[in-house]
Amino acid sequence: MFGWTGVFLRVDLTRNEAVAESYDAGMALNFIGGRGFAAKILWDELELGIDALSPENKLIFAAGPLTGFGLPNSGKLVVASKSPLTGSYGDGNIGTSAAVQMRKAGYDAVIIEGKAETPVVLHVKNDVAEFIDAQDFWGLNSFEAEAQLKLLYERTAGVVSIGPAGENLVRFATVVSQEGRAGGRPGMGAVMGSKNLKAIVFEGDNEIPAAYPEDMKELSAAGYREILTKPNFSFWKRQGTVSTVEWSQENSALPTCNFREGVFENADKIGGFAMEKIKVGNRGCPQCNMTCGNVVKDSGRGETELDYENIVMLGSNIGLGNLKQVAALNRVADELGLDTISLGNVLGFAMEASEKRRVPERIHWGKFKETKALINDIAYRRGFGDVLAEGVQTAAAKVGRGAEDWAMHVKGLEVSAYDCHAAPAMALSYATSSIGAHHKDAWVIHWEVQFGRESYSEEKINKVIEMQRLRGGVFESLTVCRFPYAELGFELEWYTKYLHAATGRKMPFNTLIYDADKILNLIRAFWIREYASNWTRDMDFPPVRWFKDPLTEGPLKGSMLDALKYNVMLKKYYRKRGWDERGIPKKSTLKKLGLSDEANELEQYVQLSE
């Protein structure tokens, strides 16, 4: 095979064994890579109903056929497993040189099984894998762990690690790399911690096999040059995703005080232009010339990388309007290995619960020191922090008395940073995303604001599906960064050319979209299989708050979602997807996508419509 190495590394931490396994072209062509590989492996290999934090769970690091070749924005890696937060499929996409080094070491994916008896670091160099005693690393934060490992190995080594949050099994702990790239929102860091795996170090010296290596070099260079010509390039380098703060504020979509409002009085203090005043440089993923990590000085003595999501969730959503303090909280989250989106959610929830006197603790909106202390309590599972470490869904169930209505999650995963009181399509996107309320699959709100916010129309459903296929299916399986395409208009044709140079195969976009649907339906089947008789279409509803508590401020004051209209929209979405009225894929849909075996298996747990 060209493009793919054709090899997975299977690591059994219980037995201290690592075995290279070849896989066939069918796997590569049907599931492409990244999310596709992860979904297929987890579907085939995970026993039903296992505890996500038990040795029976598997943690997968999976790349795509373009990863590591040096072409634009291809230093990304999918990290996936059964999620301890949602109880079903979970993944994230992390930019890291570990992606490049893993492929150069000869692997398209690493499958981690079992549990080490005591903490270990896994070191993979080409065809040798060793298990290093990590008792001295356990307890270090993710920055310290990576720095120390870089002293032991080459500086070029790719490292992914967890911080104390992962060690302490916080259900929204992430995997961290390069002091500021974080991935695996639905608790992939906790799964790694549950396996006593502190870090993985990848080093590789092999050539990744390309069908047309010369073409690949030329096309890569041309791609980088093309990106430089894009009109939005220089502003992107200045602000990256952070300019969205101003956009969200103007359009009443800026989550404020636990998603109660869509505007924040101090938005200008945490927006792109405020960020530029404290910015000291750009950082980013490997193999990228549009690096979007904005490095800023925080209110302590540290530096941190800011993106839109972490500014909003640790800023307006908790009532904090001081950007240097937001940056300091972000750094703490990165060091501890906590997902900033879920963190900002549980903090906002805790502040509201305190304000409503539903909990004895007093945690106030916008108070930096209190918040920082609570973040540490979450990571170390102390006091109320221990309750919040379970995620907002469980915390709300514990607080009770209607707290579920203002717990901002879908299927257990906390909502990312777009308020949807007046954005039905974005709400549908969150509600039907493959992992719970994350924006990666269909970030439709920008389009929706231009199209018209009030309607629940066919066009909106079509747009959500189109984006889910492209972003959640194609980009997540190719495992390349979607920003050149999504933010600068880098044309999709580049990717079919890259695929041809890498694999020697013509893979037109319509086949990639077909594969995308296959992968998204397989993930859906995974959810249904896990939940079986407990599955209900209510799980495809966005948080209650957006239906019940209208906005009380800003230009869209009074707005909220309409439950009846949303329900009709969801029904139509199901129909277009080929799912029945419960949201379960029909047998014919799965068969059409080449998932007949999966349909037969699923039928053992739920009745499938024809």
Binding site for ligand SF4 (CB under 6 A): 73, 95, 284-285, 288, 290-293, 481, 483
DSSP string, 514-568: HHHHHHHHHHHHHHHHHHGGG--GGGGS--THHHHS---SSTTTT----HHHHHH
Q: Does 246 bind ligand PTT (CB under 6 A)?
A: no
Q: Does 414 bind ligand PTT (CB under 6 A)?
A: no
DSSP 243: G
Q: Does 530 bind ligand PTT (CB under 6 A)?
A: no
Residues 310-329 that bind ligand PTT (CB under 6 A): 310
- Shortest Å, Cβ 241 to ligand SF4: 8
- Shortest Å, Cβ 160 to ligand PTT: 11
- Judged by beta carbon distances under 5 to 8 A according to partner kind, the member of ligand PTT, ligand SF4, none in contact with residue 409 is none
Tokens matching residue 211: 């069908």
Q: Indicate the SS3 state at residue 419.
A: coil
d(Cα 351, Cα 451) in Å, to the nearest integer? 35
Q: Does 203 bind ligand PTT (CB under 6 A)?
A: no
Question: Environment class of residue 509 by beta-carbon count within 10 Å: exposed (0-12), middle (13-18) or buried (19+)?
Answer: middle
- Judged by beta carbon distances under 5 to 8 A according to partner kind, the member of ligand SF4, ligand PTT, none in contact with residue 288 is ligand SF4
CA–CA distances in Å: residue 315 to residues 257, 375, 562:
9, 14, 28
342 Cβ contact partners less than 8 Å away, ≥ 6 residues apart: 85, 172, 185, 391, 392, 413, 414
Q: Does 252 bind ligand PTT (CB under 6 A)?
A: no
- Judged by beta carbon distances under 5 to 8 A according to partner kind, the member of ligand SF4, ligand PTT, none in contact with residue 340 is ligand PTT
Tokens matching residue 492: 């999709």
- Shortest Å, Cβ 427 to ligand PTT: 18
Q: Does 475 bind ligand PTT (CB under 6 A)?
A: yes
Residues 5-64 that bind ligand PTT (CB under 6 A): none
* Minimum CB distance to ligand PTT smaller for 297 or for 557: 297
- Judged by beta carbon distances under 5 to 8 A according to partner kind, the member of ligand PTT, ligand SF4, none in contact with residue 174 is ligand PTT
* Minimum CB distance to ligand PTT smaller for 203 or for 307: 307
Residues 337-356 that bind ligand PTT (CB under 6 A): 338-341
Q: What is the strand order of the sheet 303-306 is part of?
A: 279-283, 293-297, 303-306
- Shortest Å, Cβ 312 to ligand PTT: 9
Tokens matching residue 301: 């003595």
Q: Does 95 bind ligand PTT (CB under 6 A)?
A: yes
Q: In the complex, which residue's CB is closest to ligand SF4? A: 284
Sign of the dihedral defined by the CA atoms of residues 257, 259, 261, 267, in that order? positive
Phi, psi (rounded to 5 degrees) for 464? -60, -45
Tokens matching residue 300: 């302590």
Query: 103, 260, 269, 440: which one contacts ligand PTT (CB under 6 A)?
Result: 440
CA–CA distances in Å: residue 141 to residues 115, 146, 226, 235, 392:
21, 9, 39, 33, 24
* Minimum CB distance to ligand PTT smaller for 30 or for 239: 239
CA–CA distances in Å: residue 341 to residues 17, 110, 359:
35, 27, 22
Query: 93, 196, 432, 503: which one contacts ligand PTT (CB under 6 A)?
Result: 93
Site size for ligand PTT (CB under 6 A): 31
* Minimum CB distance to ligand PTT smaller for 190 or for 285: 285
Sign of the dihedral defined by the CA atoms of residues 388, 389, 395, 398, in that order? negative
Q: Which residues bind ligand PTT (CB under 6 A)?
A: 76, 92-95, 174, 180-185, 241, 285, 305, 307-310, 333-334, 338-341, 440, 475-476, 481-483
